[in-house]
Every structure is written in C-alpha cells, then in structure tokens.
Amino acid sequence: MRKNTTKPKKMAKIIDGKAISSEIREEIAEKVREYNAKTGKLPGLAVVIVGENPASQVYVRNKKKACEQIGFNSWVYEMPEETTQEELNALIDKLNDDSAVHGILVQLPLPKHLDEEQVILRIKPEKDVDAFHPANVGRITIGNPKFLPCTPAGIMELLHRSNIEISGKECVVIGRSNIVGKPMALLLLAENGTVTVCHSKTHDLKEVCKRADILVVAIGKADFVTADMVKEGAVVIDVGMNRNAEGKLTGDVDFKSVSEVASYITPVPGGVGPMTITMLLQNTLRAAEE
C-alpha cells in the first residue's frame, strides 16, 4: 500500500483582534482608575450621529458600551436627518467649550447636504480623537503625532503584540483613503517599513502584492485578494467589512485560500474591527491626560 507523501498544508496563525483588544482595554481601564484617583474626573467622549444610517448606529452603540465598560463618561447626540449645517456646527461649538468633554467624534458618513470637511475643521484639534483634523494629520506626517488614526493605530498594535517585525520589511497597502490607506502607510514608514501604496490605477497589482512581507488590504471589495496575490509566509491584514451574497460579513481577503499561504492573517469579523474602538478610547484617555 502506497504511503500518502503529501505534506499537510500549514495554516496561517490567526491574529485575534478580540483578545488583543480586551487586553488593551484592561490596560486603559487601569489608567482611567489612576487618572480618576489623581484628578477626581473621568475621561469624556461625545459622539454625534446625524440621520438613520444603520451601520453608523451599530458603531455608536458599540462605542457607548465600550466607554461604560472601562469607566469613561460618554454622551451620544442623535440628530435627525434634516439637521442643518448651522445646527450641527452649534453643537460642535458647545462640545468644544465643555471641559468635561475630552474627545469629540462625529460619525461619518453624514447626510449628503452636510459638509464633512467643515465639520472636521470645526472640532478643536486637541479634542479630535479620530485624528482627521489637518493639524493632527500634519503631525502624523512629520512623525510627531498627538493622536493616531484609530484603524491604522489598531493595526500597528496587532503587529506589535504578535511580535511581527516591521523594520526593513516590504509593506504593501491596498487603498489610499484618508481614514486608513494614507495614515497606514505613514505609520509603517515611521517604523522603517519600505512602503508601497496601491490603488485602482496601479499597474500589475498582483505582482506588487506578491512582493509584500506585510500586506494591508482596505478597499471595500469582498474577497478581492486571493492566494495567488500573496507571497508565501506574508502577514495579511484585512480591513474590509463587506456583506457577501448570503448576507454574511466578509473581508477584502479570501480568507480560506490566503490562510494557506500567509504566516499570519486577521479574520473578519474579530480582527481589525475590535481594535478601532479600542484605539478611540486610548486617544480619548490621552486627550484627558493632556
């Protein structure tokens, strides 16, 4: 009888965002207790949501719950769809002037008739815990950040706490949004990664991806990255949150095939997602401490 000589496929290690996130939240909760003992105050986060976007409402509920769990003050301001720019601006001004509020977050996207850029500029940079204000983006660019953008900062924590070396590695980021792609590239660069940013106009995307030791995918296309685009032993970070034909939550990476090639991979859900809110809490604590 012939022996089966085919080696069993080696599967990638799962980077567990839930476990790492709860570890960091415990550390934040301890710092909140110290801050409270020293000042008699609690860090405070105000979240503003305009309209009835169901995904935004879920995020806001999760943020409020996370704040309560680690001992923050939190306020949610729900405004109707027809809110005017003047009304929204007036609320932001009020929160800017409230000393109990250390962080302000306006949930994006806003209804079409409202100007997102105006809103981002309106929030005081020292309360801009999303790190979207040009003053905070500028500080990240020169390597002297006050706050780090939540999703890219969460990804860096996943890499650090999984003992993944960044210095000298080929890092490829697919997606160039202001929220994930661009700041992600800057944070990897700050840790001496050699960074390439890909987008819809990139020639021969597959070949560029195959060079990556660390591949970060943030494009919003379900199962876009397949095993033939990934270098053997690469670290694959999936930022995507999509619904497939069956309505199941799925990432930008074809998890099943890529996990047979990669050395580390983040799942969806349970990978990058939990880290985003955790980094928001970290930024709010920092705002309070300063």
Spell out the long-range contacts of 132-139 with Cβ–Cβ below 8 A and sequence spacing 24 or more. 132/178, 132/179, 137/178, 137/183
Instruction: Point out the residues that are catalytic.
Output: 63, 107, 130
Q: Which residue has the tokens 């095939």?
A: 257
What pLDDT is recorded for position 246?
Answer: 85
CA distances from 38 to 21, 32, 41, 59, 173 (A): 26, 10, 8, 31, 42
Does the pLDDT of residue 250 top 60, yes or no? yes
Matching fold, domains 40-126 and 150-273: yes
pLDDT category, 25, cuts 50, 70, 90?
very high
What pLDDT is recorded for position 3?
Answer: 56
* 61 vs 158: which has the higher pLDDT: 158
What pLDDT is recorded for position 78?
Answer: 95
Burial 141-162 (b: 16+ CB within 10 A, else e): eeeebbbbbbbbbbbbbbbeee
Mean pLDDT of 276-285: 96
CATH of region 40-126 = 3.40.50.10860
What pLDDT is recorded for position 86?
Answer: 98
Give Cβ neighbours of residue 167 (< 8 Å, ≥ 6 apart).
191, 192, 193
pLDDT category, 281, cuts 50, 70, 90?
very high
Residue 238: count of CB within 10 angstroms of its CB: 27
**Measured distance CA(230)–CA(12) in Å, rounded:** 12
What pLDDT is recorded for position 5?
Answer: 54
Mean pLDDT of 78-92: 97
Alpha-carbon dihedral 84, 87, 89, 93, rounded to 10 degrees: -170
The domain locations on the chain are: 40-126, 150-273
Return the CATH class of domain 150-273.
Answer: alpha beta
Residue 257: count of CB within 10 angstroms of its CB: 16
What pLDDT is recorded for position 135?
Answer: 97
What pLDDT is recorded for position 54?
Answer: 81
What pLDDT is recorded for position 4?
Answer: 57
Does the pLDDT of residue 1 top 90, yes or no? no
Mind listing the pLDDT tens digit for each residue in 183-216? 999 999 999 999 999 999 999 999 999 999 999 9
CA distances from 128 to 137, 178, 280 (A): 11, 15, 10
Does the pLDDT of residue 53 top 90, yes or no? no
**Measured distance CA(129)–CA(102) in Å, rounded:** 9
CA distances from 220 to 53, 67, 193, 205, 216 (A): 18, 28, 24, 16, 12
Q: Do residues 136 and 147 make contact, with C-beta atoms less than 8 angstroms apart?
A: yes
**Against a cut of 0.95, is the pTM above it?**
no
Mind listing the pLDDT tens digit for each residue in 115-165? 999 999 999 999 999 999 999 999 999 999 999 999 999 999 999 999 999
- Give percent of the chain above pLDDT 90: 88
